[in-house]
């Protein structure tokens, strides 16, 4: 693995997530959840990339040929896949969805620090508190909106 360029981690991780998606999420559910994965994954990731870039608290680095104007191509795809898997396994009852969201946010914080250590993402202020705010806000917000849409029948079963 030492001979691989840093940017190959983006393709490897996105590929692994895609394999997990194909293995874990039935095709019919994928088709129903894909738009929500794109909105809460890719669109939200681009929002966070812009926001943390403007604030100067973090940025993707070493994305090699897979980026343009400071935007890497693979992370929004990976986040879309991640959120399809996330919404498929999201509990629907009581407070459990928010416990699930908090645990997923903690996973994201840990993983972002792994990416920081691998040299493909850089937190410039804090590698704990800034990602905590970003990922807890992102996951709790996405969960709350998704469940509201689900209850209003905008999200099909």
DSSP assignment, residue 73?
S
Task: Decide: residue 4, CB within 10 A, 0-12 exposed, 13-18 middle, 19+ buried.
Answer: exposed
Q: Which residues pair with 58 in a beta bridge?
A: 123
Q: Which residues pair with 123 in a beta bridge?
A: 58
Name the residue ranges covered by the structural domains of the chain: 8-151
pLDDT by 10s per residue, the chain, length 157? 568 888 888 899 999 999 999 999 999 999 999 999 999 999 999 999 999 999 999 988 888 888 887 788 999 999 999 999 999 999 988 899 999 999 999 999 999 999 899 888 899 988 999 999 999 999 999 999 999 988 887 766 6
Q: By the 8 A CB rule, do 43 and 100 touch?
A: no
Picking from 5, 79, 115, 95, the residue whose alpha carbon sits closest to that of residue 87 is: 79
Cα gap 149→103, rounded to integer Å: 22
Picking from 90, 101, 98, the residue whose alpha carbon sits closest to that of residue 25 is: 90
Cα gap 73→63, rounded to integer Å: 8
């Amino acid at each position: 693995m030492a001979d691989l360029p840093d940017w190959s981690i983006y393709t490897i991780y996105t590929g692994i997530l895609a394999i997990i998606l194909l293995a874990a999420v039935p095709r019919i559910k994928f088709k129903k959840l894909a738009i929500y994965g794109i909105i809460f994954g890719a669109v939200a990731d681009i929002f966070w990339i812009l926001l943390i870039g403007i604030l100067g608290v973090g940025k993707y680095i070493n994305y090699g040929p897979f980026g343009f104007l400071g935007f890497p191509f693979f992370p929004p795809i990976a986040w879309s896949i991640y959120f399809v898997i996330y919404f498929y396994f999201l509990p629907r009852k009581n407070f459990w969805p928010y416990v699930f969201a908090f645990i997923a946010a903690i996973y994201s914080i840990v993983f972002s620090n792994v990416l920081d250590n691998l040299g493909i993402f850089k937190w410039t202020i804090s590698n704990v508190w800034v990602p905590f705010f970003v990922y807890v806000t992102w996951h709790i917000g996405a969960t709350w909106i998704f469940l509201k849409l689900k209850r209003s029948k905008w999200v099909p079963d």
